[in-house]
Amino acid sequence: MQRILFASLLLILCVSPLWSEQLDRYVAIDNVCAWPNLTQLKDGSLTATIFNRPHHGKGEGDVELWASSDGGHFWKRRGTVTSHKPGTVRMNVAAGRAHDGSLVVLNSGWGGPTFRERILDPLVSRSSDGGKTWQESFSLTAPAGTQYIIPFGDIVQGPGKMLAASIYDWRIPQESSPKSTSYLIFSRDDGKTWGEAVEIAADDYNETALVRLKSGRWLAAIRTHEDAHMDLSSSEDEGRSWSLSGPVSLPRQHPGHLLELSDGRVLLTYGIRERGHYGIGYRVSGDQGRTWNAPEHLTHLEGTKDGGYPATLQLDDGTLVTAYYSNGVVQHRRYHMGVIRWKMPDR
């Protein structure tokens, strides 16, 4: 079945009296697993880098770029980021905007009879026309000693032409191998080549959300392997060294996304992936990640058994746009990318 734009289908207007005038929730892209990554272009349009098939990477598929010109209500496919080879799937991404305005996507994936026997070498995809056309290269050098690496999350802009992204290593079979390590990998030429890497956290960490605050402080929310919570780490020297400060979520709350709001606060959105209680949660910090308010529920994903992975952007009027994925809610029983448009409650 072809994917249909379902942005006009409003699933839920409110989940509690608090949200009666503050939250709109939509099925934005239908029949995709998505794992969305959001980027805002210089013209104000929003882009979502997504996995384009309605399964959890169990068959062939590619990464696509979709865009919204109306603040996240309606979405249209602009282009295909990857061109997978037969017997493989391209699905794992880090994405963002280069200093020159180009879109950059680091992407890997899987191959083999069950699509879990081998991890594909990461590609660097780049678009200078807002995601309509893409150029691919293998211009990423993995950290020494890693077997396979997988990119995740936002590509972050730093000083000069520096870009940075999170990657983690993976060994097959995972059960008999050392636990994975989270790295920060750098580009010094605005995303054309990648290679210098530093360790963020070792021995139990994988999917890592990054943000560079206006003050120059970096934060990372890092998913653990064992009980799947997130630990927070910070850097004060442009990502060259990192210091762990402890858990920022409960078990089964992962992975996260970090965003500096227009008022200087830091927003952490994350998936709640406890069986029977799937949803999206958030926390807010008013002191650059040193302390956090109590966890809040943004929305419940009723009937979801595979979902989460939120990403959030803030529009000029303060509206927050959070994208996530779900394998189906009560009102819509297909994989889809959902979008929530909301305002931070006054407290």
- Specify the number of domains making up the chain: 1
Q: What percent of the chain lies above the pLDDT cut of 70?
A: 92
12-26, 96-110, 313-327: range with lowest mean pLDDT: 12-26
Residue 347 lies in a domain: no
- pLDDT confidence bin for 168, thresholds 50/70/90: very high
Q: Is residue 40 part of a domain?
A: yes
Q: Look up the pTM and report it.
A: 0.93
- Residue 3, pLDDT > 80, answer no
pLDDT score of 7 more than 70: no
**CATH number of residue 175's parent domain:** 2.120.10.10
Query: Which tens digits make up the pLDDT trace of 23-60?
Result: 999 999 999 999 999 999 999 999 999 999 999 999 99
d(CA 38, CA 321): 9
HSE toward the beta carbon, residue 285, CA cutoff 13 A:
18
Nearest to 50 by CA among 25, 80, 20: 80
Is residue 22 a part of any domain in this protein?
no
On average, the pLDDT of the chain sits at 92
Question: Is 282 domain-assigned?
Answer: yes
d(CA 107, CA 105): 6
The distance of Cα 117 from the centroid of its chain, to the nearest Å, equals 24
In a domain, 144, yes or no: yes
3-class secondary-structure state, position 272 = strand
Q: What is the pLDDT of residues 194-217, one digit of tens each?
A: 999 999 999 889 999 999 999 999
Is the distance from CB of 73 to CB of 45 less than 8 angstroms? no
Within-domain flag for 327: no
Report the half-sphere exposure of 96 (CA within 13 A, side-chain side): 25
> Does 15 fall in a domain?
no
Distance, in Å, from the CA atom of 33 to the CA atom of 26, rounded to the nearest integer, reads: 15
Domain containing residue 83: 35-67+76-306
The tokens describing 275, both together, are 């069986």
* H/E element, 163: strand 163-170
Q: In the structure, what pLDDT confidence band is assigned to residue 14 with cuts at 50, 70 and 90?
A: very low
pLDDT bucket at 16, cuts 50 / 70 / 90? very low
Q: Which two tokens stand for residue 289?
A: 């990640």
Q: Is 1 helix (H, G, I), strand (E, B) or coil?
A: coil
By C-alpha distance, which of 277, 313, 321 is closest to 297? 277
Domain for residue 239, yes or no?
Answer: yes
Q: Which of the two residues, 21 and 110, has the higher pLDDT score?
A: 110
Upper half-sphere CA count for residue 141 (Cβ side, 13 Å): 9
Q: How far apart are CA 36 and CA 49, in angstroms?
A: 6
DSSP structural state of residue 341: E
Q: Give the per-residue pLDDT at 345.
A: 81
